[in-house]
Structure 1
Amino acid sequence: MTGGATTGTDGPPDPATAVPGPAALLRLTDVSKSYGNVRALRGVCLDVRAGEITCVLGDNGAGKSTLIKIVAGLHPHDSGSYTVGGEEVRHTSPRQALDRGIATVHQDLAVVPLMPVWRNFFLGSEPTRGRGPLRRLDTAAMRATTHRALLRMGIDLRDVDQPIGTLSGGERQCVAIARAVHFGAKVLVLDEPTAALGVKQAGMVLKYVAAARDRGLGVVLITHNPHHAYLVGDRFVLLKRGAMSGSHLKKDITLDELTREMAGGSELDELTHELSRATPDEPVRTTPDSSEPESNA
């Protein structure tokens, strides 16, 4: 590898100087988080910039979920700095993060399966018409707005009145992405959006992730799949046991190198050696040789 910003035993690079480019929409610097005696994150740095996708990769237990919770405002960080648009913040609720333009699409999507698509699209932000006792939901506006917002993202659903639970997993992810874009998100955080999806549906979701980037959003893609990350990512942050094990620009790392680094490199070599078996000199016979005399026993 050449020239990528990497981490080592001396700690992560300074995100303010490691990677040139436009100012970050969101930046974490040396952020740490503990739950009692358990150190979930330590010294993590993250830059999210407009029109770029930053992929955070790691296996289960690497600290990805804790990172999401800090960015989304579910849990405050213990140390380090968290800035949004250059202003240091300390979110104590998801609403505070959302008010600053940080929208998080969790893996479970938080949808109501039996409600129609348009109702889920506006869930919690429903426009109304009329006043006093005559006040009611503006259903016509919600239907029309949902249809237009989905079309702007290139999503053409058969009917926005159909229950969202009847959509495929990939389609529900795309609706969630379009919703975040419509409501003015500047930073979009996606938690494992392609997990448990087939190849075709995962490709569809990645297409709309790229569309959100092209609309000028800063996207954080949390995943354990380096192949999906490399298809759309501009930056890659690797986590291992709560700490950064690498930070790279796409131009500085190949897919094979990214996969190897995520897999642990030397650990993978050691596992390969342990699992390999020497080829026997002769094949093991599973049936008696008819040329040998049968036992009289």
Structure 2
Amino acid sequence: MADPEPFLRFAHESRDGLHCYVARADEADMPGPLWPGLWEQEYSDDADLNPWCRYAINNGDGEALAVWRALAWELTAGRSRFATPAYYRDEVAQLRGMNREAVRLVRWEYEVDVEQPEWLSADIGFVPARACVPLRPIPDPWQREHASFAGLFDVASFRHLTDLALAVAGDATSEITLFALHDPGRANLLASTLDQAHRPDLTEMLQPGDIFVDLAVVHDLGAGAASYLTIKTLEATDEVNHAGEHFSQAFRRYANQANRIRTFNEFNTAIDHLLGPPRSIGTT
């Protein structure tokens, strides 16, 4: 079996009673945009034909980060998914068409420090949450009162995961944490644990069959900075490496044809193949 692309190669660590699978990608490892149309063609006002609106792909981030999201989606299939997007809670609510008061608020969010050169030091764990409070226009009382809360969002489709990526991608770095529960009846317990007064313990939170995924991304890679895709489970699994190999092969096929793509419709078809799970050409 061929080695995956560097950004899809996972190291396996044991830490705090959990199996941790980590892909680290610095500037040399993370592929840049491959389709020439991403910088040569004018993006359409039609969201379905706009690669940024449809896939969170542009001539800065390129296609690779979308592959990370597709891998996270594939690994968490068959589970109830919930996510905390770092900092841009209200922006996610707006993209989802939600009233901000309807968002489930929690006091803790997960942090992987992309400025750290090694994952063992980068994996900080749970930290007090914070949300964006704008300087202009002047923040309203609700924004000020809820600045120390993250939002816990249901993620019912790959489209929802893409919306999260769009909402947090405005800074040089971004982070999305995904909790995939084998038992959907534990959703309220997850929310209450993330909202408790003392720091949560991920080892105690996860149950057999659950999967934790964190996507900590550098959008403007510089010296010493690296993006991390972190996956944690109670039980060892071969599925992470299998998914890495699948998407590595899909990425190679896409890379070989990228120069032959001429239109945004052709690009959409190629990306749907690239991001699709095994034996599928689409995303759910």
Fold agreement, TM-score > 0.5:
no
Task: Give the TM-score of the pair, scaled to structure 2.
Answer: 0.29
Larger Rg: 1
TM-score, normalization: structure 1?
Answer: 0.28
